Amino acid sequence: MISLSRALETGDLSLLPSRRDEDWRWSDLRGLIRSVPPQSQDASAHGDGPFTAVCDESMLIINGGSARIHLAEGESKTIALRLVSRAVGTQHHAQVLIDLADGAQLTLLESHEGDGSGYISTTDLDIRLGAGSGLERIVLTAEAADVIAVSQAAVRLAPNARYRQTTLAAGAKRERNETQVVHPGQGASVRLDGAYLLGQGHTDLTSVVTHTGEGGTTSQLTKGAVAGQGRGVFQGRIVVERGADQTDAKMGHHALILDDRAEVDAKPELLIFADDVACAHGNTVGQLDETAIFYARQRGIPLSEARAMLTEAFVGEVIDRIEHEGARDVARAWAMEKLRGLA
């Protein structure tokens, strides 16, 4: 079985995903990892995470480790989960179990913070949502530039559960955020959003939503802006299994390419085995509207500012869909800062 974690664990580099593996065709790892680096040492973190000011409590994992978040029936919390890497040329693995009892409500503010260089960070999240529970997960990545970071989340929903996710990615040498959702239908709903803003480096937002029961809804919106030599990858797959009728699934991916050396690769997939469904996807790759830039400049706004404003509005649609007010403000500030970097 092809897997970065398995390859690092067993030392068998032939298990590393390569461009020959369909699901990793734009995020090759075999060409990057020539030997298994040593395990990262324990370290301490300093300062606050990006969400510290807007959460009820904070959890910290430095250079790998494991954690469990459990909410009892009807409980409601906002938890910041900081996954910090302080390493040079080493590797570490984090394992997080999130378990919501029926009716529990969690806002998970997850930040991947990098401080060091050349490390490999892998994260596995196992997320289980009880009946009628709700989880809003905001993921913000700020890894060091020359590292490999792969985070994989497996999400299972019970009927009437709500799962909402927004991933804000800033890239690394290779960065992948993968989400696999098993969607039972029966009143459950999923929102899977993402935004990537790259001036260099690579980021890969991959998701698979499998509808297994009747009457599920999924709404997906990903936006990206890539400048310099950045490379943005979006792979979204919606599967509707036999019998999962009355599924309503929409997927949108829209990206701006701002420089000739930049690249955007996308594969929005629909695999449908039931007939009474309404599934659609849209994908566009292009540039900012020249007329809108002209309009702004005509009103005295300098070109770089006009571009930043329009790009902000473009990405803003994803940020506006974040329900947690504090997290939305953090996300907006993050986007502004990144956009200034791109300009």
Partner 1 sequence: MAAVTKTVEQVKALEAYEHGFVTDIEQEFAPKGLNADIVRFISAKKGEPDWMLQWRLEAFERWLALDEPDWANVDYPKIDFQDAYYYAAPKEKVGPKSLDEIDPDILETYKKLGIPLREQEVLLGVEGAPRYAVDAVFDSVSVVTTFKKELAAVGVIFCPMSEAIREHPELVRQYLGSVVPTSDNYYACLNSAVFSDGSFVYVPPGVRCPMELSTYFRINAAQSGQFERTLIIADAGSYVSYLEGCTAPMRDENQLHAAVVELVALEDAEIKYSTVQNWFPGDPVTGKGGIYNFVTKRADCRGDRSKVSWTQVETGSAITWKYPSCILRGDGSSGEFYSIAVTNGRQQADTGTKMIHLGSDTKSRIISKGISAGASSNTYRGLVSTNHKAANARNFTQCDSLLIGKTCAAHTVPYIEARNATAKFEHEATTTRLSEDQLFYAMQRGLSKEDAVALLVNGFVREVLQELPMEFAVEAQKLVAISLEGSVG
- Minimum Å gap between C-beta 227 and partner 1 is 9
Which residue of 109, 197, 277, 318 would you call a contact of partner 1, by CB under 8 A?
A: 277
Phi-psi region of 329 (alpha: psi -120 to 50; beta: other; left: phi over 0): alpha
Q: Is the CB of 76 or the CB of 287 nearer to partner 1? A: 287
How far is the C-alpha of 92 from the C-alpha of 114, rounded, in Å?
A: 12
- Within residues 282-341, the interface with partner 1 by CB under 8 A covers 282-287
Q: Which is nearer to partner 1, 271 or 333 (CB)?
A: 271
What does the alpha-carbon distance between residue 130 and residue 139 come to, in Å, rounded to a whole number? 21
Looking up tokens 């302080």, which residue turns up?
86
Q: Which are the contacts of 194, defined by CB distance < 8 A and separation ≥ 6?
A: 166, 167, 168, 169, 177, 205, 221, 222, 223, 234, 318
Q: How far is the CB of 189 from partner 1 (least distance, A)?
A: 19
The 243-272 site mask, x for binding partner 1 (CB under 8 A), equals ------------x-xxxxxxxxxxxxxxxx
Please state the closest distance from residue 229 (CB atom) to partner 1, in A.
Answer: 10
CB of 248 to partner 1, least distance (A): 11
- Our CB check for partner 1 shows the closer of 147 and 255 to be 255
**CB of 193 closer than 8 Å to CB of 321:** yes
Is the Cβ of residue 60 or residue 343 nearer to partner 1 in the bound state?
343
Tokens in use for 305?
Answer: 């500012």
Closest separation in Å from C-beta 108 to partner 1: 31
Three-class secondary structure of residue 48 per DSSP? coil
H-type helices in 220-302, by residue range? 290-298
At closest approach, how far in Å is the CB of 246 from partner 1?
11
Number of residues near partner 1 (by CB under 8 A): 34
Q: How far is the CB of 291 from partner 1 (least distance, A)?
A: 14
Q: Is 19 in the site for partner 1 (CB under 8 A)?
A: no
Among 32, 53, 278, 333, contact with partner 1 (rule: CB under 8 A): 278
Structure token pair of residue 110:
């997850």
**Residue 71 — φ and ψ, nearest 5°?**
-115, 130
Residue nearer to partner 1 on the CB measure, 4 or 266: 266
One-letter amino acid of 319:
I
Neighbours of 311 (CB within 10 A): 22
Interface residues for partner 1 in 21-60 (CB under 8 A)?
Answer: 22
Question: Are the C-beta atoms of residues 172 and 202 closer than 8 Å to each other?
Answer: yes
At closest approach, how far in Å is the CB of 339 from partner 1?
16
Of 168, 66, 174, residue with least CA distance to 118: 174
Residue with Cβ nearer partner 1 (56 or 289):
289
* Cα(149)–Cα(113) distance, integer angstroms: 11
Task: Decide whether 73 or 276 has the Cβ nearer to partner 1.
Answer: 276
Dist. CA 314–CA 319, nearest whole Å: 10
> Which of 11, 47, 275, 300 is in the footprint of partner 1 by CB under 8 A?
275
CA distance 332 to 327: 9
Per-residue mark of binding to partner 1, 193-232 (x: CB under 8 A):
----------------------------------------
Measured from the CB atom, is 101 or 288 closer to partner 1? Answer: 288
Q: Contact residues for partner 1 (CB under 8 A)?
A: 22, 242, 255, 257-287
